[in-house]
């Protein structure tokens, strides 16, 4: 993440996240990464990589902060589903951990998986050997062998709480979606306004239970005019994966 040795703890702790009007490609400024997601720019200061979190000083543990490219990919994916609500995810104070002040949430990479985790848990996890560390915090996605980031079903609660666009399924269509199928117009109960084709959408039951997420195949306006068999949402993940793909989660 850092092109140069990390700054002092005091300078990092004082570098709180803030909105930025920077309109250039992502770049690293000391501890602050300026990520540009579509028309949205956000400056995110990684939590302090102090001695306790310095991966280079502990070669037996490969948990580390995301680098510039990885941070940009993760933020782009999250922004697709949350829009400006991304700031709620980045700035959210943490309630996890044993410390009286567990800090805020941050992102960590471990074995190609990205975790959303409190600073308190990160500090404790650095004392665990790589081969013994299975997971920490919430796994929200993973990087493929080609270096592409994909959100996984474990990110659903985070996306649902900050979703910009939503669709609700009729009770008769829930099971089909949970078996891994796309959403068609006939199964659509409700849809939020102003969805454009290829926007990220979170899928709910009519009782507001998050079921999964996907990509809008049509805009809200087009959905209201299409026939019952028309494709509305291309499924990316659903909670049925907890049963179907247990070994991969």
Residues with Cβ within 8 Å of residue 215, at least 6 apart in sequence: 198, 199, 200, 201, 233, 234, 236
Whether 92 has a pLDDT exceeding 60, the answer reads yes
Q: What local confidence, expressed as pLDDT, does residue 97 receive?
A: 60
The tens digit of pLDDT for each residue in 56-68 reads 434 334 789 999 9
Mean pLDDT check: name the lowest of 16-20, 106-110, 152-156. 16-20
Q: What are phi and psi of 75, to 5 degrees?
A: -65, -35
Q: What are phi and psi of 156, to 5 degrees?
A: -55, -50
Is domain 49-158 in CATH 3.40.50.300, yes or no?
no
Query: In the structure, what pLDDT confidence band is assigned to residue 32 with cuts at 50, 70 and 90?
Result: very low
Query: In the structure, what pLDDT confidence band is assigned to residue 93 with cuts at 50, 70 and 90?
Result: confident
Ranges 34-43, 118-127, 154-163, most confident: 154-163
Q: What local confidence, expressed as pLDDT, does residue 162 receive?
A: 97
The DSSP secondary structure of 84-137, one letter per residue, reads GGHHHHHHPBP--SSSSS--BEEEEEETTEEEEEEHHHHHHHTTS-GGG----S
pTM metric for this prediction: 0.74
- Which is the CATH superfamily of the domain at 165-238? PUA domain (2.30.130.10)
Q: What are phi and psi of 36, to 5 degrees?
A: -110, 115
Q: What local confidence, expressed as pLDDT, does residue 54 receive?
A: 38
Average pLDDT on 58-85 reads: 87
Domain ranges in the chain are 49-158, 165-238
- Look at residue 177 and give its three-state secondary structure: helix
């Amino acid at each position: 993440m850092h092109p140069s040795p990390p700054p002092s703890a005091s300078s990092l702790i004082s570098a709180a996240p803030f909105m930025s009007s920077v309109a250039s490609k992502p770049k690293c400024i000391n501890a602050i990464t300026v990520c540009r997601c579509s028309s949205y720019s956000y400056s995110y200061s990684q939590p302090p990589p102090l001695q306790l979190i310095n991966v280079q000083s502990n070669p037996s543990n490969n948990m580390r902060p995301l680098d510039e490219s990885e941070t940009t990919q993760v933020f782009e994916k999250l922004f697709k589903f949350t829009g400006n609500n991304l700031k709620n995810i980045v700035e959210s104070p943490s309630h996890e951990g044993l410390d009286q002040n567990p800090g805020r949430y941050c992102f960590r990479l471990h074995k190609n998986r990205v975790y959303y985790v409190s600073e308190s848990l990160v500090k404790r996890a650095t004392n665990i050997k790589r081969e013994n560390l299975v997971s920490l915090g919430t796994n929200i996605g993973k990087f493929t062998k080609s270096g592409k980031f994909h959100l996984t079903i474990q990110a659903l609660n985070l996306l649902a709480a900050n979703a910009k666009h939503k669709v609700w399924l009729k009770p008769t269509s829930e099971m089909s979606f949970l078996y891994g199928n796309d959403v068609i117009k006939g199964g659509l109960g409700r849809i939020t306004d102003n969805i454009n084709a290829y926007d990220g959408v979170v899928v709910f039951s009519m009782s507001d239970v998050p079921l999964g997420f996907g990509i809008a195949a049509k805009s809200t306006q087009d959905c209201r005019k299409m026939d019952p068999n028309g494709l509305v949402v291309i499924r990316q993940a659903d909670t049925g994966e907890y049963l179907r793909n247990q070994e991969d989660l």
